[in-house]
Amino acid sequence: MKVGLDVGSTTIKCVVLDDQNNIVYKSYERHLSQITEKMSELLTKVRDEVIHGTDAQITVSGSAGMGVAETCNLPFMQEVYATRIAIGKLIPDADVIIELGGEDAKILFLSGGMEVRMNGTCAGGTGAFIDQMATLLNVSLDEMNELAAEYEKIYTIASRCGVFAKSDIQPLLNQGARKSDISASIFAAVANQTIAGLAQGRQIKGNVVYLGGPLTFLSGLRDAFDTALKVKGLCPENSLYYVALGAAFSSATSIDLETALKNIANYGTKAAFLSIEPLFNNEEEYEAFRKRHEACKAPRGDIASYQGEAYLGVDAGSTTVKTVLLGKDGEILDSMYQSNSGNPVPIIREYLLGLYHDHPNIQIRSSAVTGYGEELLKNAFGIDWGIVETVAHFTAAKHFLPDVDFVIDIGGQDMKCFKIRKGAIDNIFLNEACSSGCGSFLQTFANTLGYSIQDFAKLGLFAKHPVDLGSRCTVFMNSSVKQAQKDGATTEDISAGLSVSVVKNAIYKVIRASSAEELGKNIVVQGGTFLNDAVLRVFEKELGVNVVRPDISGLMGAYGAALYAMNKAGKASTLLSLEELENFTHEVRVTSCGLCNNHCRLTINVFGGNRRFIGGNRCEKPVTKRSNQSEQNMYAFKLETLRSYLPVEGPRGKLGLPMGLNMYELLPFWYTFFTKLGFEVVTSPLSSRELYIKGQSTIPSDTVCFPAKLMHGHVDALIEQGIQNIFYPCMSYNFDEKLGDNHYNCPVVAYYPEVISANMANLRGLTFIHDYVGIHRKRDFPKKMHAILAQYFDGISLPEVKQAAKDAYAEYDAYMQKIREKGDEMIAQARAEGKPIIILSGRPYHLDPEINHGIDKLITSLGAAVISEDVISAKETKFSVGVLNQWTYHARLYAAAEYVGSQKDMNLVQLVSFGCGVDAITTDEVRSILESHNKIYTQIKIDEITNLGAVKIRLRSLFAALEG
């Protein structure tokens, strides 16, 4: 008989075939990282119950099977090849195979040339990812699948990283979004991540086959792929076993099972793993460490005997909800710390009811709330004050260490670090792109290994050989942990190693500290993760400093909120009374806002039948039915101005301009140029998630910046409108504004038309004009452009082109002048009203609402005016910045920073796109320019999936710092 073993990252599959290739036995089960034990158990069962002998033709395959196979002298077949063998025998007409496993994702293109695409450094969007999301929703996978079938709305959720996705899902849960909508959104995110991340421009069409556990068991996931691909994929019988089948079909070497079982049993004793020095060498060392940190205690009071006024602080975090109740002398009367189960509202209601019933002699004088669920709880229960997380944690830290100069808080999936200067928050570090290394990082592994987080943390304190796991993303680190287990690492070694990884992620990925001195001398650590003595020990050892950890480390947000409430107490609290709480109701419904083109997906929470809280809105329109956002918002004004360039019917027909990248600034130029030549200039519509999804299958690079990825959707939108002629030129240079050493466009902006031409098959048969042009050479441009147009159109004369060019240059100059004059008007109005002015700097395409995610509106809603950098950059002349200043947009940024330094009411926020390497080099120079003038500089990274919760924390912290 032939035996095929597929040892995957999370499961082990076995198929036994008879000599007619009929399946006589098959099994599928999770190995829970006990790989060699499960292999031994399975082969013993096959030997005794199926083969009834000791000889069989065996082949091993799978991502976790190679090491065992090689060491134990078993034949091994690469899993992709095994899949191909099985498909060739069972579904010979298949064109594309999509296979999702525990941590592996693969697309196999079979027709038109065999090609394989696999996930590399990330396991986001795989089975392990879906498992984590089901755990977050507190449902089983079957329940998640059933819920997805009842969805009404699809939300935008990241799937590139499991923990990062929580940053998108948790606010939705906190705002009351339906689990059915979130479940379907998770499946849609997995489908889009797989297609965009792996297909990378190659079209998926024809007979599509779905394989692997997630696609077999989850019909909702298959539906999501069908919807994204516009196909009806096939999930065949035995879809779980195709790798094992391929291995079995290819088995040709007889193996003695007795010998194989002995070799497998001895496998773990032959391996080794990379380790680091122990956290504590002995009990005495640990005892001294423990006593030092136990000295930092918050005062306590007796709630049973207390009478009078009290002050409530609530921290509705990403994964937990905490409360602290203070007496009039600042003593802690009561506290609560528990999981929020995706919705903090019923938890806080029960807590307040218990407080009112059990302690009627206590009157809550003032209350404050912080965290992800701040707005939700504030509106639900009439809590008096809302306070941004950084201010709450700083307030708490000052109470324990008045001269604190650095605070680091590691929570469930948030990491907040901030430097203090002159008694105010000066610089903020947030994990905006990834949450690896936070509390949920350890929680995930503790649960996987069958421990509570408290017991798991204690295991690592005296580990003899902590595993060196490095600092990697959470989902993918599963492989490292499992490999260490296979190599003989104990649970104690893994616990200690994960604690080291938490700290390394914080220091080297979030803070990016080069030395302990850079952080400061007076450091306070906070957050539930620092209750783990192993994490705290590693932090101190890594930086070579002793830090302060209050005994209420996990409650510091709530404690700071309670202190804030005490300081802000007014005449009477607006907190709901006992009667109101007993009659409290909470209803949730989801809708789409139609008041502008953003079409925000709104979650409407109704409390007590008449009070509402709306979440998901990017502006105030859904709440107020009006918006004054454009009055002092240059981003809104510029976008409105560009949208006024409407098509004018012309004798030469329609010509399309994709509205993205540098077209956001050059539209006035090209619109005027081609309109004067007699073309009806049609622009693609404003970006949207739907537009991006339509073009994603033709994107060849997963790491290029999001604004570039959007261009595929914009070109596709023009094609769908029936536009036969599309103009999107390559441009090495921009206009020379005399601010830098040169005036290049960044390479992506300059040459992305070449990528579009090479990867969008639906352009074939159309006229796609992507020649190299140089509008910076005003005298040469008409002649060059005439020669280009002559290749595509008949009858366009050189005099016509010269006149059109003259009008185009004039229109561009008029547009820029209009922007600067309007900007000066907004600045004057803001100053007259006493508003702070934020220079929101970036690239022209950051006007795109789908790219900036409404950050301009968020800033104006906080009470500031938003001005773009091009308004004020022209007020400066060229100066030395210490680097080769050769990019047009960077030169503007440097000039804007220099001007901001001379204006007492201006500060600067920079938008940076992920994947844009040339943006990264500006950070230090811009920061040094602004800090030399004692100005605040905040950089926000944006992508197709942006953690807007982290963005809001950063912006609100900035305003708190301005007030301080």
Q: Span 641-645, mean pLDDT?
A: 94
Q: How far is CA 893 from CA 304, 380, 575, 584, in A?
A: 60, 43, 46, 51
* Average pLDDT across the chain, whole number: 86
Helical (H) or strand (E) element with 211: strand 208-211
Q: Do domains 308-401+561-582 and 817-963 have the same CATH topology?
A: no
What DSSP character marks residue 744?
A: B
Three-state SS for 337? strand
Token pair belonging to 368: 């404050």
Are the C-beta atoms of 86 and 103 separated by less than 8 Å?
Answer: no
Three-state SS for 33? coil
Residue pLDDT, tens place only, 387-433: 988 889 999 999 999 999 999 888 666 677 888 877 777 777 776 55
Residue pLDDT, tens place only, 261-312: 888 887 754 446 677 888 898 899 999 999 999 889 999 999 999 999 999 9
Residue pLDDT, tens place only, 329-385: 999 999 999 887 767 899 999 999 999 999 999 999 999 999 878 888 999 999 999
The amino acid occupying position 728 is Y
> Residue 839: which of 924, 903, 914, 782 has the closest Cα?
903
Level-2 CATH architecture, domain 817-963: 3-Layer(aba) Sandwich (3.40)
Residue pLDDT, tens place only, 859-906: 998 889 999 999 999 898 888 888 888 889 999 999 999 999 999 999
What superfamily does domain 2-91+245-270 belong to in CATH? ATPase, nucleotide binding domain (3.30.420.40)
The per-residue pLDDT for 526 is: 87
- Judge residue 75's burial from the number of C-beta atoms within 10 Å of its C-beta, 0-12 exposed, 13-18 middle, 19 or more buried: middle
% residues pLDDT > 70 (the chain): 89
Within 10 angstroms of residue 489's Cβ, the number of other Cβ atoms is 26
Residue pLDDT, tens place only, 140-167: 999 999 999 999 888 877 665 555 576 6
> Residue 509: which of 441, 422, 425 has the closest Cα?
441
Q: Which residue has the tokens 């502006």?
A: 619
Say how many residues make up the chain.
964
- Does residue 503 surpass a pLDDT of 60? yes
The per-residue pLDDT for 256 is: 86
Helical (H) or strand (E) element with 15: strand 11-17
- Does residue 768 surpass a pLDDT of 90? yes
Rounded to an integer, what distance in angstroms lies between the CA atom of residue 295 and that of residue 292?
6
Q: Span 697-705, mean pLDDT?
A: 84
Q: Which of 13-27, 107-121, 676-690, 879-893 has the lowest mean pLDDT?
A: 107-121
- Does residue 788 surpass a pLDDT of 90? yes
Query: Nearest-5° angle of CA 873, CA 876, CA 882?
Result: 95
Backbone angles phi, psi at 598, to 5 degrees: -70, -30
Q: CATH number of the domain at 308-401+561-582, out of 2.160.10.10, 2.30.130.10, 3.30.420.40, 3.40.920.10? A: 3.30.420.40
The CATH class of 96-162+174-235 is alpha beta
The per-residue pLDDT for 639 is: 94
**DSSP output for 697-723:** GG---SSS-HHHHHHHHHHHHHHHTT-
Residue pLDDT, tens place only, 594-610: 766 666 667 788 887 77
Dihedral in degrees, nearest 10, Cα atoms 396, 401, 403, 409? -50
Q: How far is CA 560 from CA 371, 392, 854, 945, 954, in A?
A: 11, 4, 30, 31, 18
The per-residue pLDDT for 473 is: 56
- Does residue 472 surpass a pLDDT of 50? yes
Would you give the distance in Å from CA 749 to the centre of its chain? 24
Query: If pLDDT is split at 50, 70 and 90, which confidence band does 437 have?
Result: low
**Three-class HEC string of 774-822:** CCCCCCCHHHHHHHHHHCCCCCCCHHHHHHHHHHHHHHHHHHHHHHHHH
Are the C-beta atoms of 332 and 317 separated by less than 8 Å?
Answer: no
Q: Is the dihedral of CA 555, 560, 561, 565 positive or negative?
A: positive
Token pair belonging to 744: 């290049």
Are the C-beta atoms of 71 and 270 separated by less than 8 Å?
Answer: yes
Rounded to an integer, what distance in angstroms lies between the CA atom of residue 441 and that of residue 443?
6
Rounded to an integer, what distance in angstroms lies between the CA atom of residue 844 and that of residue 634?
12
The per-residue pLDDT for 837 is: 95
Q: Span 664-680, mean pLDDT?
A: 96
- Does residue 613 surpass a pLDDT of 50? yes
Q: How many CA atoms lie within 13 A of 543 on its CB side?
A: 27
Q: Which of 510-519, 663-672, 948-957 has the lowest mean pLDDT?
A: 510-519
Q: How many CA atoms lie within 13 A of 187 on its CB side?
A: 29
First to last CA, the chain: 77
Residue pLDDT, tens place only, 895-927: 999 999 999 999 999 988 876 666 666 777 888
Token pair belonging to 273: 């793993």
The per-residue pLDDT for 9 is: 72
Token pair belonging to 788: 């280009």
Rounded to an integer, what distance in angstroms lies between the CA atom of residue 137 and that of residue 731?
48
Q: Which residue has the tokens 């510029």?
A: 638
Rounded to an integer, what distance in angstroms lies between the CA atom of residue 167 and that of residue 414?
8
The amino acid occupying position 671 is Y
Rounded to an integer, what distance in angstroms lies between the CA atom of residue 2 and that of residue 247?
9
Neighbouring-strand partners of residue 407: 418, 524
Neighbouring-strand partners of residue 416: 409, 430
For residues 475 and 501, the model is more confident at 501
The per-residue pLDDT for 878 is: 87
- Judge residue 779's burial from the number of C-beta atoms within 10 Å of its C-beta, 0-12 exposed, 13-18 middle, 19 or more buried: exposed
642-655 burial code (b ≥16 CB/10 A, e <16): beebeeeebeeebb
Query: If pLDDT is split at 50, 70 and 90, which confidence band does 642 have?
Result: very high
The amino acid occupying position 428 is I
- Judge residue 174's burial from the number of C-beta atoms within 10 Å of its C-beta, 0-12 exposed, 13-18 middle, 19 or more buried: buried
What DSSP character marks residue 363?
A: E
Token pair belonging to 740: 């830098």
The per-residue pLDDT for 629 is: 47
In the chain, what are the helix, strand and coil shares in percent, each to the nearest 5?
Answer: 45, 20, 35
% residues pLDDT > 90 (the chain): 48
What superfamily does domain 406-547 belong to in CATH? ATPase, nucleotide binding domain (3.30.420.40)
The per-residue pLDDT for 128 is: 75
Helical (H) or strand (E) element with 956: helix 948-963
The per-residue pLDDT for 410 is: 82
Rounded to an integer, what distance in angstroms lies between the CA atom of residue 895 and that of residue 763?
40
Q: Of 32-41, 569-578, 712-721, which one has max mean pLDDT?
A: 712-721
Within 10 angstroms of residue 594's Cβ, the number of other Cβ atoms is 11
Domain boundaries, the chain: 2-91+245-270, 96-162+174-235, 308-401+561-582, 406-547, 635-811, 817-963
Rounded to an integer, what distance in angstroms lies between the CA atom of residue 151 and that of residue 204?
26
The amino acid occupying position 611 is R
> Residue 399: which of 461, 329, 352 has the closest Cα?
329
